[in-house]
Amino acid sequence: MRTQVGIIGAGPAGLLLSHLLHLRGIDSVVLESRSRDQIESTIRAGVLEQGTMDLLTEAGVGARMKAEGALHHGFELAFEGKRHRIDLTGLTGHSITVYAQHEVIKDLVAARVADDGKLRFGVSETSIHGIDTDTPSIRYRHEGEAYELQCDFVIGCDGSQGVSRASIPQALRKDFERVYPFGWFGILCEGPPSSDELIYARHERGFALISTRSPNVQRMYFQCDPKDSVENWSDDRIWAELHARVDSHDGQTIVDGKIFQKNIVGMRSFVSNTMQHGRLFLAGDAAHIVPPTGAKGMNLAVADVRVLTEALNAFYVENRTDLLDSYSTTALKRIWRAEHFSYWMTSMMHRIEGASPFEQQLQVAELEYVTTSRAAATVMAENYVGIAGAHA
């Protein structure tokens, strides 16, 4: 089999790239190890930056996001028993939409299927060959048969543990990493929203986040030991912890509901430099990971794909390679800005085991600053909506 662009991984990066290339008349095949059902139900974050919303809309896959997602013009920072609003739209002119990542996945898969896009689910033993040549290929097994997909380019969108990054020789790559000694316990529950906007809370007991999924389903998180087990947390214990961390001194409280999903995620920052080698390019989690605070993960994947689409288009339409050559450098500017922001928000809001009282007061001083200084609030807001720093 032959295609122009072979894409490994049907997450947001791989599916969106395939769709955007199709709109430019460029052929691609997407190979995914999981089933369609699995990718459409994996629960991840849910904040779409302005640029992500705009791109999905321009690409004709934004209708359900617009209808079912919630447009938010601000969020709240809770600390020392009080809530403080960050006015995203007032400070930046931009906003965000709360819409779950797996819903974006469903919309992209539906679009690819409607356009007769080539998606292969449940593939195994995927390997990449000839990336130093102009004729790379991907070998894989599907439904018991062995295949080789010949392509002009291989795009690795297969996440942090995938084969793609490992196919760039280690000697040509530098990995940057930070592992945080805490995780997030996430729940989905039935019930109305606790607040009109997201609440990020810092408390001596640890961080908590109140988000939403729909008028009847809410998403909440609280900092936990990443090695803890969901079995240790009864619903009552979870609600007690969330109330202790988020409720305000003036009586503002969160709304309990029936919990129907619990999970624990670890937290890590990671950047691979470089994101390209020969005819292999990495996008999304295959190249970089952020801790979830600020929900930049999918937005960075979308930003990578935007750059890569232009670069591949310039190659096919104008026979130009300059945008492909500069892909890594261009994408990494935005990635490092988001890496810093995610690390900063994480560090300011989490309970850090062993932190001195002095260091704890610095966290509060920083939160006081971003909630009282317009300049500091703008720093937070422009990073949150995704317009800060270098643009991809």
Active site residues: 72, 200, 292, 296, 384
Nearer to ligand DHB, 59 or 187 (CB): 187
Q: Which residue has the tokens 């991907």?
A: 138
- Yes or no: say if 253 and 247 are a contact pair by the CB < 8 Å rule: yes
Q: Give the whole-angstrom CA distance, residue 273 versus residue 168.
A: 10
CA dihedral 113, 119, 48, 163 (to 10 degrees): 180
Burial class (CB in 10 A: 0-12, 13-18, 19+), 155: buried
Minimum distance from residue 219 beta carbon to ligand DHB (Å) = 4
Nearer to ligand DHB, 41 or 133 (CB): 41
The type of residue at 122 is: G
Q: How many CB atoms lie within 10 A of CB 357?
A: 7
DSSP, collapsed to helix, strand or coil, labels residue 81 as coil
Minimum distance from residue 9 beta carbon to ligand DHB (Å) = 21
Minimum distance from residue 344 beta carbon to ligand DHB (Å) = 13
Q: How many CB atoms lie within 10 A of CB 375?
A: 9
Minimum distance from residue 265 beta carbon to ligand DHB (Å) = 9
Tokens of 229: 């087990």
Minimum distance from residue 354 beta carbon to ligand DHB (Å) = 24
If you write DSSP's letter for every residue of 205-273 in order, what string do you get? T--EEEEESSSSEEEEEEEE-TT--GGG--HHHHHHHHHHHH--TTS--PPP--EEEEEEEEEEEEEEE
Q: Give the whole-angstrom CA distance, residue 389 versus residue 392.
A: 10
DSSP, collapsed to helix, strand or coil, labels residue 79 as strand
Nearer to ligand DHB, 3 or 299 (CB): 299
Minimum distance from residue 210 beta carbon to ligand DHB (Å) = 9
Q: Within 13 Å, how many C-alpha atoms sit on residue 23's CB side?
A: 16
The contact set with ligand DHB (CB under 6 A) reads: 45-47, 98, 198, 209, 211, 219, 292-295
Among candidates 110, 156, 124, which has minimal Cα distance to 5? 156
Q: Give the whole-angstrom CA distance, residue 47 versus residue 45.
A: 6
CA 315 to mean position of chain CA atoms: 28
Minimum distance from residue 45 beta carbon to ligand DHB (Å) = 4
Determine the length of the chain: 392
- Yes or no: say if 267 and 295 are a contact pair by the CB < 8 Å rule: no
